[in-house]
Structure 1
Amino acid sequence: MMNSIPTVTLNNGVLMPQIGYGVFQVPNDETEVAVTAALAAGYRSIDTAAIYGNEEGVGRAIAASELAREELFITSKVWIGELGYDATVAAYEASLAKLGLDYLDLYLIHWPAPASESYLDSWKALDMLLAAGRVRAIGVSNFLPEHLEKIIALGGTVPAVNQIEAHPALQQRDIQGANAAHGIATEAWSPLAQGALLSDPAVLAIADTHGRTPAQVILRWHLQQGRIIIPKSVTPSRIAENLDILGFELAAAELSAIDELERDGRTGPHPATFNG
C-alpha cells in the first residue's frame, strides 16, 4: 500500500507521504492499538505531538510493527510551554525518548503563541537540530502569514511544512497562498472538520456519484488540491477507508462545489490570539 500513497516533495527534497494518520485526542493507552491498525492498513506517516500525551503509545506501535525505520515518517511537535531555544531542544529530546526513536522525520512548532514571540528562538533550535542531522525536516503548525514572515526574516531555514486547520468550511486560502509563495507545503489538520460536513447535500451528492463515502470525497478534495492530510479515527474500518481514496477522481465542477462550502467554520483556536 505504501508504494501507492502519493508523496509531496518538501522544500529540502525530503519526500513526505501525502496521507498520514493523526492521533490527536487518542488516549495513550489506546494509541498503540490505533497506530498498529493504521500501520496494518498501509499508513506509514504518523502525526503526534508532545501535548497529546501519547508519544509512548506511538512508540510502542512502531517498535512492535517490525517495519524498517526508513519506511516510516514520524512527526511530533513542541508545545507552547516549551518555546524558547533551550526548552525546545529539551522537548525534542523528551519526545524522542518517549517515541523510542533516534530521529524524527518532521518536527513542528505547534502554535506561534505570538504574545511572546518565543517561537523565533524555538525556530533557531529547530534549525540547529536540522543542521545536526537530528531531524530530516522542520516546520510549523498554525502559523499565520505574519508569523511565517518573521521566521523567514531570521535568514535560516524556510519551514518545510505549515500544518493548519483546513477543511471545506475553513479553507484559509490566504495562509495556503503564503505557504505556496515560500515553497512551504500545506498540511491539513482536522481535514474532515470533525465530521461537520459529512451530511452536507453537496458532499452527499458527489459521494453518491462516485459510490464513495462523504469522508472519502472530502479527503480526495484535499488530495487533488495538493494538501497533505492526517485524518484521525480509532475505528479500524474507517482508518482503512480514509486511506482508500486513490481509486477515483473528482471533476473540476465537484471540486468547485466543495470549495463553495467555505463559511469560516473554525473548530480550533485562532492563532492570532491563542497563547496556551
Structure 2
Amino acid sequence: MTEILGRADTTITLNSGVRMPQLGFGVSEARDAEASVSEALAQGYRSIDTAAVYGNEDGVGRAIAASGVPREDLFVTTKVWNGHQGCDHALDCAAASLDRLDLEYVDLYLVHWPTDALAECVQTWDGMEQLREEGRARTIGVSNFRAGHLRRILELGGTVPAVNQIELHPHLQQHEMRALHDAHGIVTEAWSPLGRGSVLDEPVLHGIADRLGATPAQVVLRWHLDAGRIVIPKSDTPGRITENRAAADLRLSADDHAAIATLHVPDDAGRIGPVPDDPGGSAR
C-alpha cells in the first residue's frame, strides 16, 4: 500500500507492516559517505541505504548522529555480505554493522547476495528471522535474488522477504521478477535506478524531460515511483541530490510510460551489474 505524505515523502507499507520511504538515498561507492548522507538528510531524505561491504557504515552513522534528525524519523538499511552467510555469521555481521552505524536497530536488513549453497541460504535466513524477532532489524529482505533463489526462501514457509533489491532501470525492466514479487507481496526496490547514467542519453527520455521542464534522470525516477517501486539513487553532488528529490514533483502520462517501456533491452542484455547467479559476483 502506498501512502502519500507529501512532496517526496511517499511511503510504502511493507508486508511486515513497516512503512518505508519510497525515495531513498544510496551510498554504494560514495566518495565521502558522511558528507553525502549529511547533505541528503539536510535536504529532507529520510531513508539511507548502505551495506557492510561498502565499507562506509561508520561514515553513515556519523552523519546520522550529527544530523539532529530523530531516530524514529529515519529508515536505515544495511546488508550482510557473502563472507558472513550462515546463521551465526549473519548475527555477528549485524552486530558489527550496528556498532559501526552506532544504532540499536536497523529498519531493514538484507541478504546482500544469494548463495548457491542451499543449507547456507536456509541458515542465513534463520539468522535474519532471529534479528527481526530480537528487534535488531524491524524488517528483513533480500537483494539481488533471482526467481530460483527467492523461491528457496518462500518454500521455507517462514517470513516472506519484505523487499528484494535488484538492478532495475529502463534498459533492464525485470518483468519476471516484478510479477513474482507482486504475487507474494514483496516490494521491488531498484538499485542503480538510472542505470549508472547509461539510460540518460535515450531520446525518448529527453523528449519527455523537455516537455516537462525536467531532466532525464528525474523522468526515470518518476517512472519508478509511479510503478510503486522503492528507489535509492546515489550522488556525491549536492545539486544532483536536490535534482533527484525533485523527481517526486513530476507527473508522467500513460503515453510517457508506454514510451519508456520500449527502452527495455531483451535477454538480460541491458544488465550493467554482475549476474546474481554467480554467488561470487562483486558488490555493485
TM-score, scaled to structure 1: 0.96
Structure 2 counterpart of 1:97, from 89, 99, 111? 99
Letter matched to residue 192 of structure 2: S
RMSD across aligned C-alpha pairs, in angstroms? 1.3
Aligned to 2:180: 178
Q: CA deviation at 1:248?
A: 2.1
For 2:15, what is the secondary structure of its paired residue? coil
Q: CA deviation at 1:117?
A: 5.1
Q: CA deviation at 1:71?
A: 0.5
Whole-angstrom CA distance in 1 between matches of 2:6 and 2:101: 22
Letter matched to residue 19 of structure 2: L
Aligned to 1:267: 272
For 1:136, what is the secondary structure of its paired residue? strand
For 1:113, what is the secondary structure of its paired residue? coil
Q: CA deviation at 1:274?
A: 3.3
Q: CA deviation at 1:12?
A: 1.1
Aligned to 1:124: 126
Q: CA deviation at 1:5?
A: 1.1
Residues 76, 106 of structure 1: 8 Å contact kept? yes
Is 1:6 matched up with 2:10? yes
Residues 8, 246 of structure 2: 8 Å contact kept? no
Aligned to 1:23: 27
Percent of aligned pairs sharing the same letter:
54
Aligned to 2:145: 143
Q: CA deviation at 1:119?
A: 2.2
Residues 37, 236 of structure 1: 8 Å contact kept? yes
Whole-angstrom CA distance in 2 between matches of 1:39 and 1:54: 16
Q: CA deviation at 1:228?
A: 0.2
Distance 1:224 1:167, change over 3 A: same
Counterparts of 1:246-257 in structure 2, within 5 Å, are 246-257=248-259
Whole-angstrom CA distance in 2 between matches of 1:131 and 1:165: 29
Whole-angstrom CA distance in 1 between matches of 2:94 and 2:156: 21
For 2:225, what is the secondary structure of its paired residue? helix
Q: CA deviation at 1:4?
A: 4.2
Residues 219, 250 of structure 2: 8 Å contact kept? no
Whole-angstrom CA distance in 1 between matches of 2:261 and 2:84: 37
Q: How many residue pairs were aligned?
A: 274
Q: CA deviation at 1:15?
A: 0.3
Q: Per-residue CA shift, 1:132-190, capped at 9, x if unaligned?
A: 12111100001111111110111210000000000000011101111111100000000
Distance 1:73 1:248, change over 3 A: same
Q: Per-residue CA shift, 1:113-138, capped at 9, x if unaligned?
A: 22565222111101011111211110
Whole-angstrom CA distance in 2 between matches of 1:242 and 1:120: 37
Which shifted more, 114-123 or 74-83? 114-123
Where does structure 1 lack aligned partners over 5 or more consecutive residues? none
Residues 50, 79 of structure 1: 8 Å contact kept? yes
Letter matched to residue 51 of structure 2: A
Where does structure 2 lack aligned partners over 5 or more consecutive residues? none
Whole-angstrom CA distance in 2 between matches of 1:164 and 1:106: 15
TM-score, scaled to structure 2: 0.94
Whole-angstrom CA distance in 2 between matches of 1:36 and 1:95: 19
Whole-angstrom CA distance in 2 between matches of 1:88 and 1:259: 38
Whole-angstrom CA distance in 1 between matches of 2:28 and 2:109: 16
Q: CA deviation at 1:253?
A: 0.9
Whole-angstrom CA distance in 2 between matches of 1:106 and 1:114: 23
Structure 2 counterpart of 1:81, from 59, 80, 83? 83
Residues 113, 119 of structure 1: 8 Å contact kept? yes
For 1:245, what is the secondary structure of its paired residue? helix
Q: CA deviation at 1:2?
A: 7.0
Which shifted more, 143-152 or 86-95? 143-152
Aligned to 2:247: 245
Q: CA deviation at 1:199?
A: 1.3
For 1:58, what is the secondary structure of its paired residue? helix
